[in-house]
Amino acid sequence: MVAYLQLCFNHFHIIFIGVSYWYSSIFYYLIASHIPHGIRALPQLSGARGETSVPDGVPLILNYGFASESKGTLDLIRALEIVKRGNRCPYFECVIYAGDHPHWDVDPYLAECEKVASRVSGLSFIREFVSDDKLDLMLNASDFVCFPYSGVP
């Protein structure tokens, strides 16, 4: 695949000559064999569930990050509302840490999320970008991590 992309790049390199940033970015991407990404190893925190108010045996769902339409935050909240209303899974807890995006105006979206979330028992909607230490704790305590991306740009 890399060889094919390099061949395409060599064929069309004239297009990128005047745009040095794109040229160097694409060139780096094509010659890189591995681009490191991900998170550090998650520390195992025994007793993490005990630090939450959620009892053992009750499923705990976690969602976190910059809340947005594309991330599907409101879709998740509405889905949980349907599940609770239909009594399909009456015993679960969900915690959503919804951070404000630094470059997008998400206040109206977050206000709608808060409004709908307030109708769902067992759902904690927290308007903050969760710290690394708190995230480590919540990831250890949670049974599920849910990101229902919607495909909306």
DSSP code per residue over 17-45: TT-HHHHHHHHHHHH-S----S-PPPP--
Whole-prediction pTM value? 0.69
Confidence class of residue 41 from pLDDT cuts 50, 70 and 90? low
Tokens of 1: 């695949």
User: What pLDDT is attached to residue 15?
Assistant: 38
- Distance in angstroms (rounded) separating the CA atoms of residues 14 and 22: 12
Phi first, then psi, for residue 116 (nearest 5°) are -70, -40
